[in-house]
Amino acid sequence: MTKWGMVIDLEKCTGCQACTAACQMENTRMPGEVWQDVIFYTEGTYPSATLSWLPRPCMHCEEPSCMHVCPTKATYKTGDGLVLVDWNRCIGCKYCMIACPYGVRFYSGERAEIQPDVRTVYPGEGDKVWSPPFQMPADKQDRSRGVGVAPANVVTKCTFCSHRISKAPKDASDLSGDNPATRESTPACVLTCPPTARYFGNLDDPNSEVSRLIAQKKGSRLLDHLGNRPQVYYVTGEGGSVPNVGSSRKA
Amino acid sequence: MNTTTNTASASNGMLAVGGIGLIVSLGIVLMKLMSEGHSAFATTANIPWGLPISTYLFFVLASTGLTFVAALSMVFGIKGFYPIAKRSVWLAIITLIAGFAALGLEIGHPFRMIWTFPAGMQFRSPMFWMGVFYTADLVLLLFKFQKMNADDWDSGASRQLGVASFVAVVLAQGTLGSVFGMMAMRPFWYDGLVPVFFLVTAALSGAAFVVLFIQIAYRGNTDSMPLDVKALMTGAMPKVFAAVLGVYLVFTIARTATGLWSNLEGNEVFRVMYGSMLFHFEFWIGLVVPFFILINGNLRNQATMQILASALVILALFIGRYEFVIMGQMVPMFKGQWTPGLASYMPGLAEWMLVVLAVSITLFLYALGARMFDLSGKPKS
């Protein structure tokens, strides 16, 4: 059985945001609709200020609260562990956005954060929310899996590049750009990461690289106390970027 | 004769105001939605639920409370409340419709609910159950009103409809409370007692609405009321209103004090709420002042004081719903420097027009109901 998961090594991550750019291009996301964000945190004041960062994709939780709250089962979990949105069923109630503790969901009808609004610059054909000149090939787009250009007024999120990993060789436990056999099926953010801080593979296989890293480097998950049990693990070492994620908020 | 004329002209005025408000607000909302899509609303990824959702909450909880008021006679057999039962049921129906209208225009694909809810059967989602129970509530209330309108108050079917609508609405408001209360990732909401809190706040809405609309129906003239209505409005009704308001005040104080005391990450918004003028207006003017009016034996029986108290409470509840919905989302989820403080939200024209629309629907349908039906109908014996 395959359960896809990701390991992000914060000691190697430079915060360059190449993963963000790759994800945007691969998945034809709009500006501001950042499925794969790198979030920066500042703490302290000059000359003792520190800057840290946290790459944050969808966690594809084992117990996804977004899925449990969805009143129409538009959000669902696949047999290989992905949390996806069926855009044909999504009513746009945004309850999943409320229930996701990691803030990884976006509404395609949302007011544009960045002007000009690309939806007016590249108006959507049919019921598409926009139609940019370069977009994911039509044969890869799949609304039932939330892949490709979204229709208006639905919720979108990272799919772990479902359209890529679904082409993975059978029995492959590690998807990596280093291996020519799995290169084309590796998620875009993993493939593009310059310092190779990201690893992608089968969490159910104890011999996969992700499983070994989690064991050897004591992988941890974000907000584990909430019980969502993310399938994205973070590992680090001395000098790794480990932000105190609550510290920047002041009432 | 004079009273009848006055009541009719009041009804005409309300019909006109409601009708014009409905056409204008619906026109503006539809125009904005057609030209800008859902980006006409000022909601963001940080604050996905805005004023339309709090408006929905306000109206459906008012409907719930009005069903509670009707249930005092229909379910619990307190005969003194029969003279206001029919008006309460009609108000419950129309406020529910007003709430549904606000929600229907806010969500992305409302018509998909028709097939995705039954096809999905997502038992784990409180929103699924909320939809099921409020829909059942609306249908049962419509049937119950039809029975009342046909002077069938006491047949087995009529009684069962009354009980069923009460049960449906208790479950509906409970699941609505759970929509918020089950969100462990949002400490401002996370509380197993939210459905109980909603029970109290709904009851308060119901009491305030029924008092206001009865006073409107009789143009604030207690002497023009039938004797049984007058006895109720100068006896049990304001006392029930005062009691429920008292319980609501206890809930509000306990919840606010706990939130202010707690250092839990996410509860800092209680301090923001406490620091806002809106909260103090809501608390002191909208709740405390009406409470003192209502616990005073002389003041609570005066029509003008009842109108003032109910109007202030309704305003306070509207503000309270807004605070509850928005502040629960102000702590951004993993946004770091991208949203360094708390998330902010300021409703725009489209949102405010949805509020006007819901209010207009209530006024228009109430006036229409007052024309078409005898809302002061009661059992013959």
Superfamily of chain region B43-345: Formate dehydrogenase/DMSO reductase domain (1.20.1630.10)
The SS3 assignment for B98 reads helix
- The residues pairing with B60 across neighbouring beta strands, listed in sequence order, are none
Is A217 contained in some domain?
A: yes
Size of interface A-B (CB pairs under 8 A): 163
Considering CB atoms only, which of B108, B124, B333 is closest to A91? B108
Q: Which two tokens stand for residue B360?
A: 């207009």
Cβ contact, residue pair A103, B107, below 8 Å = no
Enumerate the residues of chain A whose CB falls inside 8 A of the CB of residue B113: 71-72, 91
Pairing between β-strand A155-156 and β-strand A106-107 as defined by DSSP bridges: antiparallel
Q: What is the pLDDT of residue B5?
A: 52
Which DSSP string corresponds to B129-181? HHHHHHHHHHHHHHHHHHHHHTT--SSHHHHHHHHHHHHHHHHHHHHHHHHHH
Higher model confidence: residue A21 or residue B265?
A21
CATH number of the domain enclosing A211:
3.30.70.20
Instruction: Return residues 156-185 of B near A (CB < 8 Å).
Output: 179, 183-185
Is A249 contained in some domain?
A: no
Which DSSP string corresponds to B5-69? HHHHHHHHHHHHHHHHHHHHHHHHHHHHHHHHGGGGS---SS--S-HHHHHHHHHHHHHHHHHHH
Q: Using CA atoms in the order A200, A202, A208, A209, what is the torsion angle rounded to 10 degrees?
A: 20
CB-based contact, B39 to chain A, within 8 Å:
yes
> Which of A37, A249, A250 to mutate to test binding with chain B, by most B CBs within 10 Å of its CB?
A249
Considering CB atoms only, which of A97, A223, A245 is closest to B45? A97
Instruction: Return residues 110-139 of B near A (CB < 8 Å).
Output: 110, 112-113, 116-117, 119-122, 124-128, 131
- Tell whether the model's pLDDT for residue A248 goes beyond 50: no
User: Is the backbone peptide bond immediately before B118 cis, with ω within 30 degrees of 0?
Assistant: no
**pLDDT tens digits along A61-110:** 999 999 999 999 999 999 999 999 999 999 999 999 999 999 999 999 99
Query: What H or E segment, with its residue span, contains residue B277?
Result: helix B277-280
- Tell whether the model's pLDDT for residue B10 goes beyond 80: no
Contacts of A206 (CB under 8 A, 6+ apart): none
Total domains in chain A come to: 1
CB-based contact, A116 to chain B, within 8 Å:
no
Is A247 contained in some domain?
A: no
- Tell whether the model's pLDDT for residue A48 goes beyond 80: yes
Average of pLDDT values for B177-196? 95
Q: What is the pLDDT of residue B281?
A: 97
**pLDDT tens digits along B317-328:** 999 999 999 999
CB burial readout A200-229, b (16+ within 10 A) else e? bbbbebeebbbbbbbeebebebbbeebebe
Question: DSSP character for A147?
Answer: B
Is A251 contained in some domain?
A: no
Domain ranges of chain B: 43-345
**pLDDT tens digits along A101-146:** 999 999 999 999 888 999 999 999 999 999 999 999 999 999 999 9
User: Which structural domain range is residue A117 located in?
Assistant: 4-235
Is A36 contained in some domain?
A: yes
